[in-house]
Amino acid sequence: MIFKNTNTSKFSSISFFIISFIYIIIFVFIIFKYYQMANKLKEMKSVNTSLIEYIKKEKLYIPQLDIEESNLLDNPELPEQIIGEGTELFPEKVEQYLEQEKKKQNFYPDLCPVKNPYITKDFLPEKNHFGLDFAGSEGDSIFASASGIVTKVFISKYFGNALFINHLNIYQTFYAHNKAILVEPYDFVKKGDVIALLGSTGYSSAPHLHFEIIKDAKRINPKKILKLE
């Protein structure tokens, strides 16, 4: 007569059930974490990629310098009310995105806009010269000093081909006498992006970049911020 060990059989069945149940829980947990991470990455990507389209659509916080028909931009002393005109708040997610970028210093305009900087004219507000002039060769790359939104691209008799970039409504940078401008209004540019080519347009005797930094609607000496070494 053969006796079956029913207790051992039951124990084995219970053990198998418990182990299987544990594996199922682990598998479900891994799947849950995977989708949680995927959704988070998707949301982050969505915030990042939708930033520019949202700003373009709503035209948020962009200073509206609609003065092409006037001669204001032909004056080297740009009116303070134009420089500091108009701001609005970003939606919550965009504010969070920009706050993260701000922490990385991407929006702080300390990057020199040209390679191998050679200053031919200093910041001399008493002589109506509110920036630095960098000499160079025609066609040299000009870089965005910080991440931001292109708020104005224009041509004037004095500044030639020029543009403004707004950096979180804290700073603005101004680039003048360019041979060509490679960006358009409402473009989002990253720190170090090539935004223009150095030239001698407007009131200029030789190829150079006239560069200004504006804070709280006032021009400040770029040497106080730029890394020129």
Task: Write out pLDDT tens, residues 90-108.
Answer: 556 566 666 665 655 788 9
Least confident of 21-35, 42-56, 214-228: 42-56
**Amino acid letter, 153:** V
Instruction: Answer with the residue of higher pLDDT: 224 or 18.
Output: 224
* pLDDT for residue 15: 73
Residue 221's pLDDT is what?
A: 97
Quick one: 11 and 121 in the same domain? Answer: no
pLDDT of residue 195: 98
User: Does any domain span residue 212?
Assistant: yes
Residues 26 and 107 in one domain: no
Contact (CB, 8 A) for 159 and 176: yes
Q: Pick the residue with more confidence: 116 or 94?
A: 116
Q: Are 129 and 180 in contact, with CB atoms under 8 Å apart?
A: no
Lowest mean pLDDT among 4-8, 20-24, 114-118: 4-8
Mean pLDDT of the chain: 78
Which residues, in sequence order, are CB contacts of 109 under 8 Å at separation 6+?
Answer: 145, 146, 167, 171, 173, 213, 225, 226
- Asked if 112 and 212 sit in the same domain, the reply is yes
In a domain, 64, yes or no: no
Instruction: Determine the average pLDDT of the residues in 28-34.
Output: 78
Question: Residue 80 has what pLDDT?
Answer: 45
Q: Are residues 77 and 30 part of one domain?
A: no
d(CA 214, CA 40): 37
Q: Looking at residue 85, what is its pLDDT?
A: 43
pLDDT of residue 55: 55
The H or E element containing residue 221 is none
Q: What is the CATH number of the domain that holds 140?
A: 2.70.70.10
Q: pLDDT tens-digit profile of 152-193? A: 999 999 999 999 999 988 899 999 999 999 999 999 999 999
Residue 227 has pLDDT above 80, yes or no: yes
pLDDT of residue 26: 83
Domain identity same for 83 and 48: no
Flag whether the pTM goes above 0.75. Answer: no
Nearest to 206 by CA among 110, 133, 126: 133
**Range scoring the smallest mean pLDDT among 2-6, 109-113, 141-145, 168-172:** 2-6
Tell whether 168 and 194 lie within a shared domain. Answer: yes
Sequence-ordered list of residues with C-beta below 8 angstroms from that of 8, at least 6 positions apart, any chain = none
Could you tell me if 89 and 120 lie in one domain? yes
82, 29: one domain: no
User: 205 and 111, same structural domain?
Assistant: yes
- Report the pLDDT value the prediction gives residue 25, as an integer from 0 to 100: 83
Number of domain units in the chain? 2
Range(s) of the domain holding residue 37? 1-58
What pLDDT band is residue 16 in, cutting at 50, 70 and 90? confident
Question: pLDDT exceeding 90 applies to what percent of the chain?
Answer: 50
Average confidence (pLDDT) over 52-58: 54
